[in-house]
Structure 1
Amino acid sequence: MENLELWVGVEPTVSRVGDETLDQLALSGFDRRLEDIDRLASVGARAVRFPLLWERTAPDGPEHADWRWADERLARLAGHGVTPIVGLVHHGSGPRGTHLLDPAFAEGVRAYARAVAERYPHVDAYTPVNEPLTTARFSALYGHWYPHARDERSLWRALLHQMRATVLAMGEIRKVNPAARLIQTEDLGFVHSTPALRDQAGFENERRWLSLDLLMGRVDEHHPLWDHLRRVMGATEAELRPFAEHPCPPDLVGLNVYVTSERFLDERLHRYPPHTHGGNGRARYADVEAVRVLGEGIGGPGARLREAHDRYGLPLAITEVHLGCTREEQLRWLHETWQAAQDARREGADVRAVTAWAALGAFEWNSLLTRRSGHYESGLWDVRAPEPRPTALLGLARDLAAGRPPAHPVLGGPGWWHRAERLTFPPHGPVHADPPAGRPLLITGATGMFGQALARACEGRGLPHLSLSCRDLDPADSASVERTLKDHHPWAVVDAAGVVRMDAAEHDPRIPHENVPGPQVLARACAKEDVRLLTFSSDLVFGAREGVRLPFLESDAPGPLNASGRARLAAEEGVLARLPGALVVRTGALFGPWDPQNFAAHVRRELQAGRRVRAARDRVVSLTFVPDLAHAVLDLLIDGETGIWHLAHAAAVTWADFARQVARVSGLDPDGVEGVDAATLPLPASLPSALASERGWPLPSLSSALERWSAQVENLERELTAAD
């Protein structure tokens, strides 16, 4: 048997909710960047799941198809020697003139498939309809997507039309290319339950195979769901017989496996929030993610591969493996899936490939595509940048494709789905949980705002870390630093020490000691031990731009106007001179829920007391929410980013406007904020400058940050009140 292959794919869903369409290819930019084909080929993948979607290419019928986009990209894939697996419908309803409950849907897909095959006769791998059962459930049983039906008879109609479309499409394709292969994908989950709901779980675990069983010709009078299909779902023998009499078995079964694909059913409703409550008409129960309640944990991709092998004995692949999470968890999920596929192969399953998905990330899947909130999950690249920015996932994918042992240090620890914090509900059954493991991250400045925020982030992400205060480690003492690195063998150091209060810092004698020599000593020691280094700077390295409101970019020349800014600039230059591969992050004005002294907390406190707040109306500032900063810098550090980065929320505002936003999100009167000229305010140091980035924009919106800040502050206030 050949070695396990790496495939790659982009998230291409064209979803419809009501009259609004959400196009993942447009959101990610894949629809306009031809060079993305080169990026995909650079992974070392043998095949690409290529979206040649009906509603994008031929919305007015095959005779009016526009092939230019596909022509360019398929030709370039061929030049790289990468096999395309062409998808025709991906979680879509087709063009506006049809939908999943339309009997003409299947004929429309057939006509389009014939046109595609005639245009590209060399293409020999197809997925006519991606995840037909999953799409039918979401569109016709749960009502999330168009046409928003919510009953089992509609579920059958939607599934029937997609399965007919698949069979008819492959028939037309094989008339042109008899060797064409059907790569049929489905999200293969698993349902766990309490003993009282064992029958319901068994029914759902049987139903998950239905799309594949239909293609295999297995759905007849002996099938476990035959009576349910006929009696409850309204399927007729005339609809079912053709599948049994004329099977269209896949040449390869593609399993799409997610952490959330496994569910748990529990009749004890009081344990779970109301939005999880549902039922089957006979019993009421909660339907939750199994990973959040099941003490033994989930089966994951290995269990699903073994099940599919036992049931069908066909060639298999993992055709989607994505995790919308922090970077180390994304790495762990892909790596674990690859290992599970290798293990299944050793046990006799014919597993051909694992697909790195979604290469360019995914948008709005946190709401199952039902709303537009700007939510984005990065993939092998992060598209929140002038050009897609490679992440650590790309390095891992290349290692897997080349057969190299992955070496990233964060892979030494278990994913969150194995750790104790996964359990957000009372556990069902004995709990098995793995502790964080692997080489630590060393954090200096443990008692400061940066240090505490980073420690919290590491704790939540399962990143072993060691937080050291100035009593534990003097960053300016080279002997102390070198001894600490040798003793603890960290994979990276985060220098969170230093003074962040710009006004107090103007005449603070600690500045030369903490902000200049310390980072330079750390840089020299990290270079010697081959350890990554992250250190912080600020917008104070720049001066004001008179008469303009343009923010400063990383490439702009610094010009500090105060002592803190000059110290920060000297530290930056010293660090990069000694360790050019260091990561230096400049932040905007900081605010966070645990710091009662920042400007946002001051505004909230003063307005709550009924006092007016005076704030500059003529100075533009960029803000940085400390928890967002902590997670973003850890991602960048894991990605291996180097050099200077600006991390601030995109919306630069005046101090007065920011104060009014704080008031609104806190439920206070924004008219209590008085905008004044900065010259009238008693500020010993010059005010910060606005920042923007030419490298990437990993932080969420300022409005989102403020909403979360307010919620966290309110929670802390309630905890303090309860403690009193």
Structure 2
Amino acid sequence: MAVVLNSKLALEVWAGVECTVNRVGEEYFDQLERNGHAMRLDDLDLFAELGIKAIRYPVLWERTAPDGLENADWSWADERLGRLRSLGINPIVGLVHHGSGPVHTSLVDPEFPEKLALYARAVAERYPWVSFYTPVNEPLTTARFSGMYGHWYPHGRDELSFARALLGQCRAIALSMKAIRKINPNAQLVQTDDLGKVYSTPTLAYQAEFENERRWLTFDLLCGRVNSTHPMWGYLRYCGISEAEIEWFLQNPCPPDIMGINHYLTSDRFLDERRERYPASSYGSNGQHEYADVEAVRVCAEGAGGPRTLLLEAWERYKLPIAVTEAHVSCTREEQLRWLYEVWNAALSLRDEGVDVRAITAWALLGSYDWNSLLTRCVGYYESGVFDLRSPHPRPTAIASLMRDLSAGRKPNHPVLDTPGWWHRQERLLYPAVSCRSLEGENKSKWTLTSRFPHTTLPSPLIIVGASGTLGRAFARLCELRGITYHLLSRREMDIANPASVDAVLSKLKPWAVVNAAGYVRVDDAEREPDICIRVNAEGAATLATACAKHNVALLTFSSDLVFDGTVSNPYMESDTVAPLNVYGCSKALAEKLVLKVNPSSLVIRTSAFFGPWDDYNFVTIALRQLSAGNTFVAAEDAIVSPTYVPDLVHASLDLLIDGECGLWHLANKSAITWADLARLAAKKAGFNPSNIIALPTQELGLTAKRPNYSVLGSNRGELMSCLDSAMSRYFDECQRF
């Protein structure tokens, strides 16, 4: 099955599973265990449906032979590599991924290279048909994190530990490929590293120049370029590396068959000695100057260089075939789509200019855990990827659709792609803008932001109905933040209960989707005005759904936990039977039925008990206002709900809408709490005396409409929302900013 990737063929789509097994102290953090892929063979069939040609895939030393080759367990790799082979997907086999090997070795172990080479030979002997290898992922990055910054084992914080870790990994790569090629002479090295670029003020130009030279060390060592005249020769000698250790690479070159460039928005940095402009967490020193080290995209007036600049620099330096071996951004769904598509278009344009770019790789198919802390803690922070693991089974996101389009040679047409990513928009600047004149790669380029976004008219908008309501205004605010073009409409501008009004607006604005955030929300008043409530909530929603179906426009509309009667003691799921106790609940239950009947592709989200920072009339805000004034606050002690932080709800809803999801979904922050305890929780976090909260039975509150005593929402489709404690903390943070 060996395939030689031909530069004359079309640009390929590859993929990768985040598979890091890193060590912190004596603890190993295993992404494959955390993302569940260690136990799910069927994931590979999902991956194949994306149309990918190759996949970066782990046969990791730490997992396969932690107790030596004589005790190796190949069963996992046998089954999965066999399935990939039958699916026609080329595995690019990784042996160490940000790891340091089994417990009996480390990156600074003098025998690490030889030990890994023995393992590499065993892998090649067992799978002689495998033709692509990455023996060690990102040696330079791993050496920095393990030998310079002390994040990962062996937790070095000095230049010598860094240099030893780097040279040990590079030597391990060369020896491993030598061992592999004794079994498979045609085996190819796909060598990866994170490649960024450093910009600076004139004062720190010398530091930027040094770092921009050091970033190439993995490839320069493997290509046998580091001799006594190389700019990094003196640095390595200063670190404590002997001439013989460096010269070994001159005598044993192992140039990559394909250079794997990993590039993230955080990879490009800006150095500034004016530290007062930046947060203390960014401060550093080189012994000569103290300075701030921040993301270049947050300060450079022209923007950071980006993937095209890096790919072009790599090509001009080495003239070797290139692949983008990781393309991922931790952000909202539309930004993930924009980044991957931008990387794809940059690669296409470079190919047109004669640069041998073979593929781009959608990284973290299953997402990743705790990279926000650089894998130094295990707290469960999850970033979704091509698939979202917060559902019972890996759920394909809009990125999966994008990959299928690119793999099949189709032009993607998702409307959110028509807007530049946040890294191009003005709001990216968090600090005073500084000109970064060294964007020479972009200046040489025929590709510009204008050519990427040539539209003379605005992108197709999202319509948000409900301009006067909390939810509608929150959608508008967060669409603005996310770069999603929208129109926020009042009832006067579009009456959803009037078919002619709806049809006229959809015909004029030509939206790609409609968010119905309008509705009759006065639960007690609905008992006195049932006809009005039903007309707005049910008939209006059905009218809107009918029009959206006619115009082929996606619809997102909202329902309520009050469609349930509260006779259970476990969270309600989407499949549970509705049995509303009041008119409002009846109107929402009827709306669900009508909307999904006339337009089954609609997305209907049930939610509960709003609180948020941007309006004055939600339960939490009212409670805190009363307590702040020294008043008591009365709340139900026997009604259990799952409160919903409005910004979380909006973000999750938009992601589902962009993903093309439909049917009923439950979205609420994970919790089960009485109204009185919710008020106490908010009071404690705000520093108020919770004893000023008076808890009473619901029947003593004088409410007109009957409410369920239990209306907690769970989900059998996916739990996308954080826990209540996290939401409450962010509520207070946002209130301080607002």
Same fold at TM > 0.5: yes
The match for 1:704 among 726, 734, 737 is 726
- Amino acid of the structure 1 residue aligned with 2:501: S
- Amino acid of the structure 1 residue aligned with 2:493: D
Q: CA deviation at 1:677?
A: 3.4
The match for 1:396 among 385, 389, 402 is 402
Q: Which residue of 1 aligns with 2:43?
A: 36
Q: Would the alpha carbon gap of residues 79 and 383 (structure 1) be closer, same or farther in structure 2, given more than 3 Å must change?
A: same
Query: How do 1:270-289 and structure 2 match up within 5 A?
Result: 270-289=276-295
Question: How many angstroms apart in 2 are the aligned matches of 1:508 and 1:626?
Answer: 27
- Amino acid of the structure 2 residue aligned with 1:306: L
Q: Which residue of 1 aligns with 2:463?
A: 442
What SS does structure 2 have at the residue aligned with 1:260? coil
Tell whether the 8 Å contact from 1:442 to 1:468 is kept in structure 2 after alignment: yes
Q: CA deviation at 1:612?
A: 4.3
Verify: 1:664 aligned to 2:684, yes or no: yes
Question: How many angstroms apart in 2 are the aligned matches of 1:176 and 1:677?
Answer: 76
Q: Would the alpha carbon gap of residues 30 and 671 (structure 1) be closer, same or farther in structure 2, given more than 3 Å must change?
A: farther
Q: Which residue of 2 aligns with 1:21?
A: 28
The match for 2:91 among 84, 93, 98 is 84
Q: CA deviation at 1:651?
A: 2.0
Verify: 1:521 aligned to 2:528, yes or no: no
What SS does structure 2 have at the residue aligned with 1:568? helix
Q: CA deviation at 1:57?
A: 1.2
Q: Which residue of 2 aligns with 1:719?
A: none
The match for 2:576 among 546, 556, 575 is 556
Q: Which residue of 2 aligns with 1:253?
A: 259
Q: Report Cα offsets for 1:188-229 as digits up to 9, x if no partner.
A: 100111111111111100000001100000001111111111
Tell whether the 8 Å contact from 1:414 to 1:437 is kept in structure 2 after alignment: no
Q: Which residue of 2 aligns with 1:476?
A: 497
What SS does structure 1 have at the residue aligned with 2:266? helix
Q: CA deviation at 1:306?
A: 0.7
The match for 2:300 among 291, 294, 297 is 294
Question: How many angstroms apart in 2 are the aligned matches of 1:55 and 1:49?
Answer: 17
Verify: 1:597 aligned to 2:617, yes or no: yes
* Higher mean C-alpha displacement, 683-692 vs 529-538: 683-692
Q: Which residue of 2 aligns with 1:543?
A: 565
Total equivalences in the alignment: 713
Q: CA deviation at 1:97?
A: 2.6
Q: Report Cα offsets for 1:574-595 as digits up to 9, x if no partner.
A: 1111111111010021111123
The match for 1:428 among 426, 434, 445 is 434
What SS does structure 2 have at the residue aligned with 1:258? coil
Tell whether the 8 Å contact from 2:200 to 2:436 is kept in structure 1 after alignment: no
Query: How do 1:104-123 and structure 2 match up within 5 A?
Result: 104-123=111-130
Q: CA deviation at 1:508?
A: 4.1
Q: Report Cα offsets for 1:105-140 as digits up to 9, x if no partner.
A: 223212221221122111111101000000111111
Q: CA deviation at 1:613?
A: 4.0
Query: How do 1:436-515 and structure 2 match up within 5 A?
Result: 437-508=458-529, 510-515=532-537
Q: Which residue of 1 aligns with 2:330?
A: 324
Question: How many angstroms apart in 2 are the aligned matches of 1:2 and 1:167?
Answer: 28
Question: How many angstroms apart in 1 are the aligned matches of 2:518 and 2:52?
Answer: 43
Verify: 1:189 aligned to 2:196, yes or no: yes
Verify: 1:126 aligned to 2:133, yes or no: yes
Q: Report Cα offsets for 1:269-292 as digits up to 9, x if no partner.
A: 111111111121101111100000
Q: Which residue of 2 aligns with 1:682?
A: 702
Tell whether the 8 Å contact from 2:582 to 2:707 is kept in structure 1 after alignment: no
Q: Would the alpha carbon gap of residues 202 and 535 (structure 1) be closer, same or farther in structure 2, given more than 3 Å must change?
A: same
Task: State the TM-score, normalized to the length of structure 1.
Answer: 0.96
Q: Which residue of 2 aligns with 1:213?
A: 220
* Higher mean C-alpha displacement, 322-331 vs 172-181: 172-181
Q: Would the alpha carbon gap of residues 54 and 384 (structure 1) be closer, same or farther in structure 2, given more than 3 Å must change?
A: same
Question: How many angstroms apart in 2 are the aligned matches of 1:599 and 1:99?
Answer: 55
What SS does structure 2 have at the residue aligned with 1:261? coil
* Higher mean C-alpha displacement, 679-688 vs 170-179: 679-688
What SS does structure 1 have at the residue aligned with 2:572? coil
- Amino acid of the structure 1 residue aligned with 2:678: F
* Higher mean C-alpha displacement, 10-19 vs 177-186: 10-19
The match for 1:578 among 573, 598, 605 is 598
Q: CA deviation at 1:671?
A: 4.3
- Amino acid of the structure 2 residue aligned with 1:327: R
Q: Which residue of 1 aligns with 2:441?
A: none
Q: Report Cα offsets for 1:311-363 as digits up to 9, x if no partner.
A: 11111100000011011110010011000001111111111111111111111
Query: How do 1:305-316 and structure 2 match up within 5 A?
Result: 305-316=311-322
% of aligned pairs identical?
57
* Higher mean C-alpha displacement, 147-156 vs 578-587: 147-156
Q: Would the alpha carbon gap of residues 613 and 433 (structure 1) be closer, same or farther in structure 2, given more than 3 Å must change?
A: farther
- Amino acid of the structure 1 residue aligned with 2:145: F
What SS does structure 1 have at the residue aligned with 2:524? helix
Q: Would the alpha carbon gap of residues 665 and 162 (structure 1) be closer, same or farther in structure 2, given more than 3 Å must change?
A: same
Q: Report Cα offsets for 1:483-537 as digits up to 9, x if no partner.
A: 1111111110101101334334443464123212211111111111111111111
What SS does structure 2 have at the residue aligned with 1:354? strand
Verify: 1:165 aligned to 2:172, yes or no: yes
Q: Would the alpha carbon gap of residues 314 and 475 (structure 1) be closer, same or farther in structure 2, given more than 3 Å must change?
A: same
Question: How many angstroms apart in 2 are the aligned matches of 1:502 and 1:430?
Answer: 57
What SS does structure 2 have at the residue aligned with 1:516? helix
The match for 1:178 among 181, 185, 188 is 185
The match for 2:672 among 637, 652, 676 is 652
Q: Would the alpha carbon gap of residues 674 and 81 (structure 1) be closer, same or farther in structure 2, given more than 3 Å must change?
A: same
Task: State the TM-score, normalized to the length of structure 2.
Answer: 0.94
Tell whether the 8 Å contact from 1:419 to 1:433 is kept in structure 2 after alignment: no
Query: How do 1:63-82 and structure 2 match up within 5 A?
Result: 63-82=70-89
